[in-house]
Amino acid sequence: MNTDRLEDPQRQRLREHLEAILIRSEKATSWHDEAARLRGLVNHEGYVPVRTRLAGVDLDFLAGAREDLLRFSELGLRLLDLHQPRDAGGITSDAAHPILRCRSCMWRWPCPTFRAISDSFSASPETVLPESA
């Protein structure tokens, strides 16, 4: 058994979800230039008169949302690369289910870092993540 290639199904689904976010973000058009144009349409009440009310803070968010999401997705993927299971090498009575530890922090798998990421996306074995666009 190759101990460096152990894969947790929940971790794999979370990785696929983050990769899908990254791909969708890369395909999206940046709102940076459009937000600058819309900023000139802000009325005396502080909103752009369109079907929805966009405040200046909304435009600030939209201007950087794509880049922020790209960085966030890359961070999540890097954390998943750091925190992944490996065989702890202990003696177990169930050879099909060895004791696993995190490769990075050596906590018992799933480690607190992976649990925090997983909980943020509500990724549990029962959760069906949306298909990539």
Tokens of 95: 């050879």
pLDDT at residue number 115: 94
Q: What is the mean pLDDT of residues 32-43?
A: 85
pTM over the 0.85 mark:
no
Work out the number of other CB atoms within 10 angstroms of the CB of residue 128: 7
Instruction: Name the one residue in this structure whose structure tokens are 């997705």.
Output: 73
The full DSSP string for 24-42 is: HHHHSPPSHHHHHHHHTT-
Q: pLDDT tens for residues 46-104?
A: 988 877 777 888 888 888 889 889 999 999 999 999 999 988 777 767 777 788 899 99
* Alpha carbons 90 and 62: distance in angstroms, whole number: 50
Phi, psi of 114, deg, nearest 5: -65, -40
